[in-house]
Chain A
Amino acid sequence: MHKFLIRSFVSSLVLLFTLTVTAVAKDVKAAFVYIGPTGDHGWTYQHDVGRKAVEAAGFKTTYVEGVPESADAERVLRQLANSGHDVIFTTSFGYMNPTNKVAKEFPNVKFEHATGYKREHPNVSTYAARFYEGRTILGTIAGTMTKSNVIGYVASFPIPEVIRGINSFTLAAQKVNPNIKTKIVWAFTWYDPGKEAEAAKALIDQGADVIAQHTDSTAIVQMAEKAGVYAFGQASDMDKFAPKAVLTSVENNWGPYYVDRVKAVANGTWNQKDTWHGIGDGMVVISDLDSQMPADLRSKVKKLQADLASGKVHSFTGPIYDQKGNLMVAEGKTADDGMLAGMMTYVKGVEGDIPK
């Protein structure tokens, strides 16, 4: 009798434990809303890599791709919230208002909005990555590797995220090489390989021997490879597309954050947060450095990477002047997050005007 009691007690404990574990693993369902196709090998692709990490951690996930940033987004969000999803990641800036609107209607569902700043309800969190830290590294490499002192930059749309990237890149390049010029071409697209290749070709024809990009496709690094100039991968490691041209890539690594947040929902520890992670937290990853870079540059970059991660170095450290020579950040100070989030002026050394 005694034995029987202990046995049943132990087995029920085991059963209970297994049940809880499977309950946690099965019950929490995460949904992802994408702006583009998962096959873009860029922005959406990287978010989907993050989703797969959540799946690998034992959670069920759903995704909807190609959702326009309009009333359609609301409809999709409402449907996902209604169909038993516990946490919904909305992965584009334009989903900001739909996310907050739908969050109000579903207080029990958690919402996570990428790259936005509105958290109107307690069940809305925001998250973004400090990609500009990666661009500080690219700028350092570009400024050192250029021989023509002309660096090309293919930009997408004039929004703070892109301007911040251009500034951070140029500041870093100037630091190692005060003679460089950053030539910017606006493609007005995130994603059109033909157009991106043409923009890169124009910059190369005009003497740029290092090309940076803030658009998503691999067409630019391929064009650089063909023309025999250097380039950097965007969003994912693009080395295999252009082994000679690509010096390194800045990768978007959402997986750890996604797993973390979905686990928090499962454990009941989810709380509202505004996350802006950089190299230090592993959300921004620098791919392998190409062996064409001299050894001292590689070690310099490694050190810079470590310093950016630890916070010893900040991408926007004063004195920083704008194009007209007005002081933006005083000597010894660093730009605060508010300034970074709304950055819409070029720093000194960038050529041309921001399209209005």
Chain B
Amino acid sequence: MIIDINFVGLIIASIMASAVPLILASCGELITERSGVLNLGVEGMMIIGAISGFALMTVTGSLIVAVFGAMLAGVLISTIFAFLTQTLITNHVATGLALTIFGIGISAMIGKNFVGIPGKEFPVLFESLKDTIPLISPILFGHSIVFYFAFALPFMTNYFLKKTKIGLIVRAVGDSPESASNQGINVRLVRYACILYGGAMSGLAGAYLSMIYTPQWIENMTGGRGWIALALVVFSTWNPIKILIGAMIFGGLTIIQFHMQAIGVRIPVQFLTALPYIVTIIVLVVISRDSRKIRLSTPSSLGKSFHKDN
């Protein structure tokens, strides 16, 4: 194979495209977890977003309605989770798992009528600039708006958590809901908001899959990406920039292993297929091994229910 500079650009662009749903869902879940709530329902919320986006696109014909509808669907289904865990004080893990199972089931039910319908083409930005600069243009130009949003999101999330007052409140609620409550912060309200935001981002991630990445609806089309997104949050030690790195490594190795197979590299294929999972975990564990920093960024009350007595 000739290593062509444009070829490298194409590969990087496809790696970035495959990382988009992981970044979106992870950054959403990160905010939820930073407020002390562990929502294992990411996969379920993603698949709900995927079917809602696709169904709305087919029925209304409007891409804008479909994208926002998918986010709204994520919000609605996460409201169930929020109500159960925050108002009825149920266990986070069990409720999250139930949310995933519920999401997969209900999406299949709604989706029965949408199987076998081709999706619409989603508009891309700056397509005319795609061939201007070798290597760089295919990476920077000719992508959907959701793509650009996803790559800005980790930086915005980082800024939000570190530099804004609301970000500080979210972290305070996640670290010590008792103290935050004593300061007059409405813990339940903050957690509700963070859960709904996580739902919106998961919904968007699902819509990206069913409307932009592979425009079609088939059952279980998220294929476990919600679980990968959850794992990324933990292994990145709740750091949005490291989520970006992890998602790129994961997406990158998935795609590079296909290229290695196509070139004919003689490495057992099963090993190549497992590579993305292994390397992503190793890299994230290595770059996050500073235990002092882990303690600082881990939400201390993660997964614990908070019940205000009065």
Contacts and interface: CB of A to CB of B under 8 A. Distances in A.
A203 B111 CA distance: 31
A154 to B, nearest CB: 9
A45 interface: yes
B262 A219 contact: no
A39 B50 CA distance: 14
B99 to A, nearest CB: 19
Contact of A199 (B115, B219, B258, B263): B258
A203 B1 CA distance: 12
Interface stretch (A52-60, A316-324, A348-356): A348-356
Given A39-B112, A205-B11, A241-B118, A197 B213 contact: yes
Interface stretch (B66-74, B189-197, B266-274, B298-306): B266-274
B116 interface: yes
Give the residue among A38, A45, A205 with the most B Cβ atoms within 10 A.
A205
B223 A353 contact: no
Contacts of B209: 193-194
A353 B217 CA distance: 34
A183 interface: yes
B10 A205 contact: yes
Given A39-B112, A39-B115, A201-B14, A222 B215 contact: yes
Nearest to A184: B261
B108 A202 contact: no
A39 B216 contact: no
B262 A188 contact: no
A351 B264 contact: yes
B29 to A, nearest CB: 19
Interface in A181-222: 183-189, 191-199, 201-203, 205-206, 208, 217-219, 222
Contact of B216 (A183, A202, A218, A353): A218
A101 interface: no
B214 A201 contact: no
B261 A240 contact: no
A105 B130 CA distance: 65
B126 interface: no
A219 B214 contact: yes
Interface residues of B, number: 38
Interface in A153-179: none
A202 B260 CA distance: 9
A122 interface: no
Given A41-B115, A183-B262, A198-B18, A206 B218 contact: no
Q: Which of B10, B262, B264 has the most CB of A within 10 A?
A: B262
User: What range describes how many residues of A lie at the interface?
Assistant: 35 or more
B214 A193 contact: yes
A241 B216 contact: yes
A278 B268 CA distance: 34
B253 to A, nearest CB: 11
B270 A201 contact: no
Nearest to B115: A39
A37 interface: yes
Nearest to B217: A39
A190 to B, nearest CB: 11
Contact of B262 (A36, A206, A223, A356): A206
Interface string B185-212: 0000000000000000000000001000
A328 B274 CA distance: 34
Contacts of B118: 218, 222, 240-242
Nearest to B258: A202
Interface of B: 1, 7, 10-11, 14, 18, 108, 111-112, 115-116, 118-119, 209, 213-221, 223, 225, 254-255, 258-259, 261-264, 266, 268-270, 273
Given A41-B116, A193-B223, A205-B11, 19 more contacts: A38-B112, A39-B111, A39-B217, A39-B218, A40-B115, A41-B115, A45-B116, A152-B262, A184-B261, A185-B262, A193-B216, A194-B214, A194-B225, A201-B255, A202-B259, A203-B258, A205-B259, A241-B216, A242-B118
Q: 4 tightest A-B contacts by CB?
A: A202-B258, A355-B269, A37-B219, A193-B214
